[in-house]
Amino acid sequence: MLGRLEELCNLNGVSGDEGRVRRYIKEIAKDYADEVWTDTMGNLYAHKKGDGPKVVVAAHMDEVGMIIWGAMENGLLIYQTQGIDPRVVVSKRVVVGPREIPGVIGAKAIHLQSMEDRKKVLSHSELFIDIGAKDKADALKYVSPGDYAAFDTKWERLGSDRMKAKALDDRMGCAIALELLKQTYDCDFTAVFTVQEELGLRGAQAAAYNVKPQVALVLEGTTANDLPKTQGHQHITKVGGGPAISFMDGSTIVPRAMFEALKSAAQEAEISFQVKQGTAGGNDAGAIHKALSGCVTGVISVPTRYLHSPCSLASISDFENAYRLADAFFATGKQNEVINEVL
């Protein structure tokens, strides 16, 4: 599962341009699912037929990144982005477009900066991607307006139990969902790999309509703010503290039955877990739980530091235990228990 995660994290799949990730997942999923299909938005579905309730496990394929607006006369590329702090992109490598043209985001050298310059935060509109093009016409030979650009960061293990990569949010969820497909559970099981989560839970909305699940489990990479000077009640989650179970976030309140069932699945399987403390942020559960006439939805997250940056960091054991927790939940038939309790 870890090797797969490495491959997934190294793929580029900015929101709206998830094709590479989709192709990779499709290849693997088709060996385990009865049917694999893609909808018009690009959501990928891997369906394992079964008796019992309709269950969805959802993870999003997209990552934050940039889109090319056009080129300037000097050949630098103008980009747009959403959800990225401009302070993290200066001096980073990116790859651009379907041909993955390498580029860098530079800025005025420190020698040339005034005291005022040093204090000022550069905004995205003052930053550009340099692919080495001579001028505008040259740049447009390699890149078209509307091409996407992703951070060029490689997955790596740090120390014994940590890893760094881009797109850990949410390729970890994708890897876990793929692993769950290998098992057989007492339900009609669909793993949904969604698009455009980072643009506002867009893919999940259509996906919920297409599958019409009764129970959904969303697998996410969530904020870990366990840093010095942060008070305990503002950590949200802690890296290394085990998979996080949500009771509430900015988009969803998890039904008590679901929250309790996830906790007892962890306890019964002796997996140490944490309760996600913050209530901010959102994920695909927000779109899925209230789609159609409603769906019982829970969330398991892997704590991740430095989300939405070129380098995020997570714990390998948290990741593996998130899989074990999801597996324990379904293997012990908790999907049936929560439905009976809620309805």
Using the rule CB under 8 A, which residue among 74, 91, 113, 144 binds other proteins? 144
Using the rule CB under 8 A, which residue among 5, 68, 167, 174 binds other proteins? 68
Is 300 a binding residue for other proteins by CB under 8 A? The answer is no
Q: What are phi and psi of 231, to 5 degrees?
A: -70, 155
Using the rule CB under 8 A, which residue among 80, 113, 184, 267 binds other proteins? 80
Is 292 a binding residue for other proteins by CB under 8 A? The answer is yes
Beta 188-194 vs 44-48: how paired, if at all? antiparallel
Q: How far apart, in Å, are the Cα atoms of 172 and each of 76, 257, 285?
A: 34, 25, 16
d(CA 47, CA 34) in angstroms, rounded, equals 6
| Residue 82 contacts residue 198 (beta carbons within 8 Å) | yes
- Paired residues of 157 in beta bridges: 163
Handedness of CA 287, 61, 278, 247 (dihedral sign): positive
d(CA 76, CA 91) in angstroms, rounded, equals 15
Is 75 a binding residue for other proteins by CB under 8 A? The answer is no
Place of tokens 């998890």: 254
Is 214 a binding residue for other proteins by CB under 8 A? The answer is yes
Is 81 a binding residue for other proteins by CB under 8 A? The answer is yes
Residue 249 vs 327, nearer CB to other proteins: 249
Is 205 a binding residue for other proteins by CB under 8 A? The answer is yes
Is 99 a binding residue for other proteins by CB under 8 A? The answer is no
Residue range at the interface with other proteins (CB under 8 A); choices 99-107, 112-120, 126-134, 198-206: 198-206
Residue 107 vs 248, nearer CB to other proteins: 248
Q: Report how far Cα 150 is from the mean position of its chain's Cα atoms.
A: 14
Tell me how many degrees the CA angle 260-322-176 measures, rounded to the nearest 5: 125
SS3 92: strand
Using the rule CB under 8 A, which residue among 6, 19, 32, 86 binds other proteins? 19
SS3 72: coil
d(CA 141, CA 218) in angstroms, rounded, equals 41
CB of 82 to other proteins, least distance (A): 5
Angle of helix 334-342 versus helix 256-268 axis, rounded to 10 = 150
Is 279 a binding residue for other proteins by CB under 8 A? The answer is yes
Please give the positions annotated as active site: 197
Residue 205 vs 312, nearer CB to other proteins: 205
Is 267 a binding residue for other proteins by CB under 8 A? The answer is no
Within 10 angstroms of residue 61's Cβ, the number of other Cβ atoms is 30
Residue 153 vs 214, nearer CB to other proteins: 214
CB of 119 to other proteins, least distance (A): 24
SS3 218: strand
d(CA 3, CA 6) in angstroms, rounded, equals 5
Site for other proteins in 219-248 (CB under 8 A): 232-234, 247-248
SS3 167: coil
Residue 135 vs 156, nearer CB to other proteins: 135
Residues in contact with other proteins, total (CB under 8 A)? 61
Is 273 a binding residue for other proteins by CB under 8 A? The answer is no
Binding residues for other proteins (CB under 8 A): 15-16, 19, 22-23, 26, 38-43, 66-70, 78, 80-82, 125, 144-146, 196, 199-200, 202-203, 205-207, 209-210, 214, 232-234, 247-248, 253-256, 259, 275, 277-280, 289-296, 342-343
